Structure 1
Amino acid sequence: MSSDFYHSSIVPYAAIIVKICRAYTNSQEDFEDYYQEVCLQIWRSREGFKEQCAWTTWIYRISLNVCLTLLKKKKNNEPIHFTSDVLPDSVSVTNNAFENETLNQLYTAIKHLSEVDRAVILLYLEEKPQQEIAEILGTNPNNIGVRVKRIKERLKKIIDEKFN
């Protein structure tokens, strides 16, 4: 991966990647592996980006797809093989992903949701419009609002039970 591509097309969107990877991992080590794999897949798929959507939408789609694929492989107890490529500055982006206790509580609650509901709430927390959330997830925008309301209710219940 060229350093120019990484710094111009991935680093400005690292927060998106970090949030999604954090929602689908349980350890710093897994998080770093997922983050690296997402960045690699963004680089590999860059030629497939046809500007039919915003670059951020593309980043979300790839990040979610990679995390869900890796999660499924992990559930099936298949070994996951990551490339040995080291991304420049990736450690500085990922080092503090598990340090904030309040954020850890939120992510713990989010992990009790289904994989799709995790994606919906992450996009909602990013203040994405319902239309864009639907576009990223490949679903109908009409049900996003209802789904977000139900997810928020479930998260409140989970947080109240676990942390209060």
Structure 2
Amino acid sequence: MEFSELIHTGWAQAELPRGPEALPLRGSLCVTLYHLLLSPGPASCVDLWLLLLRSVYFFEKQVASDSGTITLRCKDLRVLQLEIEGAEATLDIAPSIETNAWRLSEVNGDFSLCPRYPRAVIVPHVVDDDALARSARFGQGGRFPVLSYPLLPAAP
């Protein structure tokens, strides 16, 4: 299974309520394997909103006839509700961001598959350790597909 197969719908129109004193952020929601992006569009003066999926510890969806709500409870105690246009879009986006799509594997526990990877790696739940070991034989330096996020340089 390709990692990209976990994403059923890559984007939808959404609204993110931001509290009683701020207008909701409305725009295009983009779903990737690692994060959610909400872009209000080029004409807006509001910044892009980004959420790393690994910061979500609880996920809930509610669907009505023509829309849906995805509630995300984050590890930093934030609770976010995304109002998605279209029930079908909500149902397609939900499996892409559910946290049970990933698991922790210790297939590289002794660093024998890939000396550059850590002992424990995050991989898709549907890929077993045998498949990871087989794919490491074909990757340069024993590399195999894992969930990673690039480190950004420190601010000056």
Do the two structures share a fold, i.e. TM-score over 0.5?
no
TM range (shorter): under 0.3
Q: Which has the higher strand share?
A: 2
TM-score normalized with structure 1 length: 0.26
Bigger Rg over Cα: 2
Q: Which has the higher helix share?
A: 1
